[in-house]
Amino acid sequence: MDASSRRSPTSGRPEPKLTVIVVNYDGWPDVLSLVSRLEDEPEFLSGACQVVVVDNASLGPLPESPALHRPGLQLVLRPDNGGFGVGVNAGWRQSRGRWLLLLNPDVDVEPGTLGRIFDRIDALDALPGDPPGVVGFGLRNSDGSSQGSVGVFPSLARTVFEQFLPRSRRKYQVDGRIRFGPVDWVTGACMLVNTRMMTELGGFDEDFFLYHEEVALCRTARDRGWRIEYDPTVSVIHRHPLQNRPVSPKMRVVIRHSKLLYFRKHTPRWQFLALAWVVALEAAAKGAWAALRGRPVERRAWRTIGHIAQRLRRGRGPRGRRVLALAEEAERGPSEPARVPEPSRRLARNAASRPAGGGVLRRESRASASRDRA
């Protein structure tokens, strides 16, 4: 019997073939828009698709929306903001599908998109041998133009060369040169993931707070013999890609850390040491320039980046949400208090108002996050 025709003993809905995971942090309007579109799709209405929304301890309150109360949707409240990979892993622990579809909240899914993805899944499952570990789909800008979604694995030479390119072309390959088939890595904004591969790898590397975690996942998967593929016949609109936005000092700290951490874990040591040395020099020069121009936030951010490069070089660098804490401290200054969410109050208030038979609400504790997935 196919998994999509089996029924869950608790909900009475068919066991899903696909679980969509959406990781949120203070982006509820985008999340509600995306979830509402997904819930109108026949695959969700039939129970073949499960949706899991993971909230990484957003500072604002949970919205009161019918979209979050639908059977087939599960809401997971995390106690802290551990980053994208931590959020995906939390959603994976609650998933029931054989495949995972990772979607950014700022993605627009047009009618019929889930159907095309299900057709792709059926084709993959029918192939002889093992299906790929990851399949990336095409991304488009709001005007319909193509958006970068595929890249080659970073190297020291390529990273240095990319500094002379426009930001939109530094990380991604030009889509016109990409064809259907094997690639090095695909972006996590719209990524289909084989749960067998996730189990073998143990999920995303939670040392990365944000950015490069999907590159690291694909690198590890390739090293373990899994294929990474790109399928441009399915595409979604991605409204706010990083390369189209100005980079704040806070995000610059996070991005530099992720790049350095990737090199430390996945490239020859000499390449990592050389990059750490270059980043430390960059931080010293740009930090001094920011001080001369009277920009204290930029100066603190570059100083933090320099410290991170030095500490990673010595093997004691920060990981996960500690990186966010350092970036936020650089942004606000050490004398200002941090804004802290109150997930327990959010949980109590919203659980009390959730109707019977609605979407499942779970609060993930730090202890449960550390246990192996059953």
pLDDT digits (tens, 9 = 90+) for 306-364: 999 999 999 888 999 999 999 999 998 866 555 555 544 444 444 444 443 456 667 77
Cβ neighbour number for residue 308 with a 10 Å cutoff: 25
Q: Which long-range contacts (CB under 8 A, 24 or more apart) does 239-248 make?
A: 239/106, 239/107, 239/108, 239/141, 239/142, 240/106, 241/139, 241/141, 241/147, 241/148, 241/189, 242/211, 243/148, 243/167, 243/168, 243/170, 243/171, 243/172, 244/141, 244/168, 248/331
Cβ atoms of residues 63 and 33 within 8 Å: no
Q: Rounded CA gap, 49 and 71, in Å?
A: 11
Name the nearest CA neighbour of 327 among 258, 235, 272.
Answer: 258
User: Which residue blocks in 94-243 are alpha helix, DSSP H?
Assistant: 113-126, 156-162, 167-170, 195-201, 213-223
Alpha helices, H only, the chain:
28-39, 42-45, 84-93, 113-126, 156-162, 167-170, 195-201, 213-223, 249-266, 269-292, 296-313, 321-332, 343-353, 366-370
Q: What is the pLDDT of residue 355?
A: 41
Separation between Cα atoms, residue 299 and residue 181, nearest integer Å: 44
Question: What pLDDT shows up at residue 187?
Answer: 94
Instruction: Give yes or no for a contact between 10 and 38, defined as CB atoms under 8 angstroms apart.
Output: no
Q: What size, in residues, is the chain?
A: 374
Vertex 188: Cα angle to 185 and 191 (nearest 5): 85
Contact in structure between 22 and 74 (CB atoms under 8 Å): no
- 320 backbone φψ class: left, alpha, beta (φ>0; ψ -120 to 50): left
**Nearby residues of 325 by Cβ (< 8 Å), 6 or more positions away:** 338
Tokens 């942090």 label which residue? 25
Closest residue by Cα to residue 244 from 154, 143, 113, 110: 143
3-245+346-370 fold: Spore Coat Polysaccharide Biosynthesis Protein SpsA; Chain A (3.90.550)
Per-residue pLDDT of the chain (374 residues; tens, 9 = 90+): 343 444 554 455 678 999 999 999 999 999 999 999 999 999 999 999 999 999 999 998 899 999 999 999 999 999 999 999 999 999 999 999 999 999 999 999 999 999 999 999 999 999 888 899 999 999 999 888 888 889 899 999 888 877 666 655 666 555 445 667 899 999 999 999 999 999 999 999 999 999 999 999 999 999 999 999 999 999 999 998 876 677 899 999 999 999 999 999 999 999 999 999 999 999 999 999 999 999 999 999 999 999 999 999 998 889 999 999 999 999 988 665 555 555 444 444 444 444 434 566 677 765 555 544 43
* pLDDT given at position 217: 98
Closest alpha carbon to 209 in 96, 111, 80: 80
The structure's pTM equals: 0.88
SS3 state at 224? coil
Pick the closest to residue 336 from 302, 369, 291, 296 (CA basis): 296
Taking the CA of residue 94 as centre, how many other CA atoms within 13 Å lie in the half-sphere pointing to its CB? 28
Given the structure tokens 């084709």, which residue do they identify? Answer: 123
Domain limits, CATH 3.90.550.10, in the chain: 3-245+346-370
Question: Tokens for 205?
Answer: 């590397």
3-state secondary structure string across 351-363 = HHHCCCCCCEEEE
Compute φ and ψ for 119, nearest 5 degrees.
-60, -40
